[in-house]
Amino acid sequence: MSALDDLWRRGRDFLGVDLPIIAGAMTWISDSAFVAAVSNAGAFGCLAAGNMEPELLAAEIVRTRTLTSRPFAVNLITISPRYREHLRVACDSGVGTIVFAGSFPRQAEIAAAKASGARVLSFASTEALARRLIESGTDGLILEGNEAGGHIGPVSLGILLQQVLFKVTGVPIFVAGGIATGAYMTHLLLMGAEGVQMGTFFVLTEECRVHPSFKETFRKAKAKDAVATPQVGAELKVIPVRALWNRGTEAFLDLQLELIEKRKRREISHEEAQQRVETFWMGGLRRAVRDGDVVTGSVMAGQSVGIVSEVLPMREALARLVRDAERELERIRARL
């Protein structure tokens, strides 16, 4: 029995796990083997659909089920070109939880997910969006501050807690962005969160099968090294990506300038330019994760990369996190 039981009981019951700690879906990382390792360790794994072929996603769901009997989710990117096919696959598979990320899912899409028997989690970045998602039928929310890695929103977790967590009731709310210690997790639970989501934390586990160079770069990085990519001008819509600054980041700035000039000369359509922007990061991420190209590839990382610096077995990393959280709870009780 944990001292945290009363704080995270609702989150545990909602996810059906021992630890209401979600391993955020990471493209090229959160495959069936990784997701099963997370779930088998007592936390909650999320299979990243990304932009994979629908047949491959179906196979990955089947494979995950052969590797774990514990609950897990499928994370769908609503702006992916294959999103509708991914949703169909997830619904047909009868997966227990579907996570909508990327942008606002339509009410009919949430209804389809729930009709398949799945619980629905959706990302919310404002109070208005959170309430709209609840009205549309989502079963739970994830608040992700821009301290997180990968594609990020414009608002920090500290502000989202005040705008959403403290005001919105009715569904479980999980929080994410910059979380890497049990002590911080305890404070978030005391604020009303039902659990947390982490990504960078899980990269530095033995079960995370990224290229050794990718993991070593994470281990040595400082928080200030994880920066959000700037947008050059207003001609292109660039969703910020938080990653470790390298030559790839510089190349992305050059790419934006190149595309803007081509648009002015009418050598490329707006849609083609936007597609080039998105494919740059997806290709760069694959090179970094799979091939170890941490110089020109995209090393997506949250600012918590400056806190986690030791590679540990999954179960040990989670056990340390829980012990740290329990110690912090006792410290708070003593102060009170």
Q: Compute the distance between CA of residue 223 and CA of residue 220 in angstroms, rounded to an integer.
A: 10
Task: Give CA 182 to chain center in angstroms.
Answer: 18
Domain shared by 54 and 80, yes or no: yes
Task: Give per-residue pLDDT as tens, 230-260.
Answer: 777 777 777 788 999 999 988 888 888 898 8
Domain shared by 27 and 127, yes or no: yes
Residue that wins the pLDDT comparison between 92 and 277:
92
Residue that wins the pLDDT comparison between 137 and 51:
137
> Is residue 215 in a domain?
no
Instruction: Name which of 147, 180, 145 is nearest 163 in CA terms.
Output: 145
C-beta of residue 266 within 8 angstroms of C-beta of residue 184: no
Residue type, 251: A
Task: Give per-residue pLDDT as tens, 154-201.
Answer: 899 999 999 999 999 899 999 999 999 999 999 999 999 999 999 999
Domain count, the chain: 2
> Is residue 97 in a domain?
yes
> Is residue 217 in a domain?
no
Q: Which residues contact 5 (CB under 8 A, 6 or more apart)?
A: none
> Is residue 216 in a domain?
no
Instruction: Name which of 159, 233, 182 is nearest 21 in CA terms.
Output: 182
**Mean pLDDT confidence for 45-58:** 96
Domain shared by 262 and 141, yes or no: no
**Mean pLDDT confidence for 5-10:** 95
Q: Compute the distance between CA of residue 60 and CA of residue 24 in angstroms, rounded to an integer.
A: 17
Domain of residue 62, CATH code = 3.20.20.70
Domain shared by 19 and 68, yes or no: yes
Task: Give per-residue pLDDT as tens, 200-209.
Answer: 999 999 999 9
User: With helix as H, strand as E and coil as C, how does 19-36 read?
Assistant: CCEEECCCCCCCCHHHHH
Backbone angles phi, psi at 140, to 5 degrees: -160, 160
Residue 1 — very low, low, confident or very high, per pLDDT cuts 50/70/90? low
Residue 331 has a pLDDT of 96
Residue 329 has a pLDDT of 97
Residue 273 has a pLDDT of 85
Residue 223 has a pLDDT of 97
Domain shared by 141 and 228, yes or no: no
Q: Compute the distance between CA of residue 323 and CA of residue 181 in angstroms, rounded to an integer.
A: 10
Residue 3 has a pLDDT of 82
Domain shared by 110 and 227, yes or no: no
Residue 57 — very low, low, confident or very high, per pLDDT cuts 50/70/90? very high
Residue 238 has a pLDDT of 76
Domain shared by 312 and 293, yes or no: no
Residue 206 has a pLDDT of 97
Domain shared by 98 and 113, yes or no: yes
> Is residue 19 in a domain?
yes
Domain shared by 169 and 255, yes or no: no
> Is residue 70 in a domain?
yes
C-beta of residue 83 within 8 angstroms of C-beta of residue 56: no
pTM of the shown model? 0.94
Q: Which residues constitute the domain of residue 263?
A: 222-300
For residue 93, CA distances in Å to 50, 68, 113, 118, 263 come to 17, 15, 11, 10, 43
Residue that wins the pLDDT comparison between 139 and 274:
139
For residue 27, CA distances in Å to 47, 281, 310 come to 9, 11, 22
Domain shared by 227 and 82, yes or no: no
* Residue-averaged pLDDT of the chain: 94
**Mean pLDDT confidence for 264-287:** 85
Domain shared by 283 and 197, yes or no: no
